[in-house]
Amino acid sequence: MPLTVNTNSYVTETEADTYFETRIDSANWTAASTELRESALVTATLLVDDHAWIGAAVSSSQALAWPRNNAIYNDTRLGFNVTIGNTIIPSQVKEAVYEQALHLIDNEDILQGKTQTFESISVGPISISDSDSTSTIPMKSSLVLKKIRPLLNKAYASGTGASWWRAN
């Protein structure tokens, strides 16, 4: 399925290109084919969309979590609550999709759960050798959660979840 805004992506490839024009370390985005960029944006939207958000979806038939009704969050930079209109996709969500898409392009096997291993890496006079070393690359970019944290349901954002239990 091709990229379709508000169906399988929050952003267009053109919007992402504009975002990456001024972002440092985005050479892999620029070098990627149009097909890869669009696939990365669709997959990134899927990953970003999978959260417990503030408010409620505007319609039960909408494909994505945003836009939302009653989406109110505290903006610590501004120092007061902000209400997001029910036709708006917040810039934080769009930026999270851009960052996640780049993360997917930078780490092509990440969805397969592969780890990165090495025996020897050399860059100029710097060399690293360690046959027992493995590192797991996280599925989501660390920038994603940072950008969307204010828009998450507080119970889920704090890690407490919304499950209730009672001691007998």
Would 96 be classed as within a structural domain? Answer: yes
What confidence score (pLDDT) does residue 150 get? 95
Q: What is the Rg, in whole angstroms, of the alpha carbon atoms belonging to the chain?
A: 19
Q: How many domains does the chain have?
A: 1
At residue 141, the pLDDT reads 85
Tell me the whole-structure pTM to 2 decimals.
0.80
Is 65 part of a structural domain of the chain?
Answer: yes
Task: Look at residue 63 in the predicted model and tell me its pLDDT.
Answer: 97
Can you tell me the distance from the alpha carbon of 20 to that of 18, in angstroms, rounded to the nearest whole number?
A: 5
Residue at 35 is within a domain? yes
Domain presence at residue 106 = yes
Q: Is residue 2 assigned to a domain?
A: no
From first to last of its 168 residues, the chain has per-residue pLDDT tens of 699 999 999 999 999 999 999 999 999 999 999 999 999 999 999 999 999 999 999 999 999 999 999 999 999 889 999 999 999 999 999 999 999 999 999 987 777 665 555 566 777 787 766 655 456 777 888 889 999 999 999 865 555 554 455 555
State which residues form the domain around 77. 13-157
In a domain, 140, yes or no: yes
Does residue 3 lie within any of the structural domains?
no
- Domain assignment present for residue 1? The answer is no
